[in-house]
Chain A
Amino acid sequence: MLKVTNLETTYNDIILSLKGISLEVPPAKIVALLGANGSGKTTTLNTISGIRKTIDLAVEDGVIEFEGQVINEKEPYRIVSMGISQVPEGRRIFAELTVEENIMIGSYVLADRKKFPLSLETVFGYFPILKERRRQLAGYLSGGEQQMLAIARALIADPRLIMLDEPSLGIAPLVVKEIFEIVSTINKERGVAILLVEQNANVALSIAHYGYILENGRIVMEGSSEVLRENKDIKEFYLGLTDVGTKKSFRDVKHYKRRKRWLS
């Protein structure tokens, strides 16, 4: 469905950010893209969704294909109308608009306007809390509710692929769990493919079918989430577990000395 091949991007024409990554999102599957700060996760999403001009990001090489069409040079609004919605990092809801108006903006691309009230109810079905607050200014919602609103806003456009950029950012663990459960339900019930960018590997791998590990602009490892979860290095560096499966002790001062095997 979404296929990225050898993508290479630069910032300001000089800083190489993605160094040739390839990934694929099959239909109706959840794919996790994991990595630490600055590894290029958000850059990948922004490159796919086309917001490049304002952040001085450019594609140097590679192909982004969505359902067989090359979308490298398309404007963001065209990409959305093709069926890719992005939930941006840090939620980026419209704080001065009400909850309902936020969702309405998300429906901008719907060709069939008559469907709108119907899908509004569907979306509220997934996020009942938003229905209660539909007339409130979105800026006054809590972080978790804002994240739900951001997902709802993407969902209303009836996309075939949702790209979620760190939905767990700055949100209480319990609410994170709730949000991920909703995301999983949406994936199952509506058959929407999801590209999930996360630092919280544990929770991301719990719902994903497949995962990629991104480091320094390169994909260093990929595999189904079961395989990734069992991998020794991932256990140690992303899940914070030692070989035995117990929590890592920081008394063990040599823990940082072990090199990740995929870094040569």
Chain B
Amino acid sequence: MEKIIEILFNGLSMGAIYALMALGFVLIFKSTGVINFAQGELAMVGAFICYSFATMMNVPYIYAFFIALIGGLILGAVVYQVFFRTMVGEPLFSTIMVTVGLASILTCLAGLIWGHDVYSLNSPFTDKVIHLDKITFAQGSISTIIVSIVLFVIVILFFNRSLLGISMRGSAEDPDTAGLMGINVKKIHMVAWALGGLVAAVAGMFLAEQSFVRLAMSNVGLKAMAAAILGGMESISGAIVGGIIIGVVEGLAANYLSGMSLGNFHMGDIKDVAAFVIMIIVLMIRPHGIFGKEKVERV
């Protein structure tokens, strides 16, 4: 019993990270129609920025956290200005290829700046745990979950209450009409990319806290994309639910399935497969994702 609670809890904290990354996908896809394959790389750069300040320069962790957060924001906006300002409305394939190229460029640049080693990020929560009865909670996981919840609430309020957020939803639905309402759609797109960069940086830092800072951590982007697609790609709540499902399933698979063997065949590291198996099953039942909508058009 204690074990399952611990597994679920750790799964939840991984799920929160996936959900944050998926949120980045959804934000960018929904407002600009670009599927950003460089989301994982944005997260990786965010983690490296935090690492540079917190560990290399000994800035207090909380400041480093916010610096990386702003770094992610600026990076997202710059990426939009440089690569996508003129690409909006172009065919999906070319924009996707641009993001794939961008992913390599970011990896290269990060490799040049920070090197190809594996680093560890020391946060105030590293290796600290809380015991509750017989159950052990890692403080890092707790902070991940709390900050993610706060961030989700802010994002949801932003999109439902603020004029800018509502305008972003409107521009996503019909950019031409949004222009007629006096909305500068290009600015809206830049805000979406900036927010996407911000949530990616947060996800990257939490991920680094739970494992390491390294170039290969951008692989998490692919799993987060599975989470976003699972949730329906257009819905914020879908991204959250999709992320949590993938995180929890992964945790369960890692604990219960990894050690199994069938004769000479060992399951090995099955947790990376589990996420995609779930995604495929859900998509077979609901092709538009859990929260995705089939487009209903009034004629």
What string of 1s and 0s marks CB contacts (under 8 Å) between B161-200 and chain A?
0010011011001111111111111000000000000000
Find chain B residues with CB under 8 A from A33 CB: none
- Are B181 and A106 touching (Cβ within 8 A)? yes
Find chain B residues with CB under 8 A from A75 CB: 179, 184
Q: Assuming A88-B177, A105-B178, A108-B181, what are 13 further A-B pairs, CB within 8 angstroms?
A: A51-B176, A51-B179, A77-B179, A92-B174, A94-B169, A94-B174, A95-B173, A97-B166, A97-B169, A101-B169, A102-B170, A108-B183, A153-B181
B183: nearest chain-A partner, CB-CB:
A108
- Are B183 and A94 touching (Cβ within 8 A)? no
The 9 A-B residue pairs with the shortest CB-CB distance, nearest first, are: A109-B182, A80-B182, A76-B179, A92-B177, A94-B170, A77-B184, A105-B170, A101-B166, A77-B182
A100: nearest chain-B partner, CB-CB:
B166
Report B87 CB to chain A, min CB distance, Å: 14
Report B280 CB to chain A, min CB distance, Å: 28
In the complex, A253 Cα to B280 Cα: how many Å?
Answer: 65
A187 touches B (CB below 8 Å): no
B89 touches A (CB below 8 Å): yes
B298 touches A (CB below 8 Å): yes
- Chain B: interface secondary structure? helix
- Are B170 and A80 touching (Cβ within 8 A)? no
Show 25 residue pairs from A and B whose CB-CB distance is below 8 angstroms, ordered by the A residue. A49-B180, A54-B89, A76-B179, A77-B182, A77-B183, A80-B181, A92-B174, A92-B180, A94-B169, A94-B170, A94-B173, A96-B173, A97-B166, A97-B170, A97-B173, A101-B169, A104-B166, A105-B167, A105-B183, A106-B181, A108-B167, A108-B181, A108-B182, A153-B181, A157-B181
Report A145 CB to chain B, min CB distance, Å: 13
In the complex, A25 Cα to B110 Cα: how many Å?
Answer: 59
Given contacts A92-B177, A107-B163, A157-B182, whether A139 and B170 have CB atoms under 8 Å apart is no
A86 touches B (CB below 8 Å): yes
What string of 1s and 0s marks CB contacts (under 8 Å) between B31-72 and chain A?
000000000000000000000000000000000000000000
A81 touches B (CB below 8 Å): yes
Report B130 CB to chain A, min CB distance, Å: 42
- A97, A108, A139, A157: which has the most chain B beta carbons within 10 Å? A108
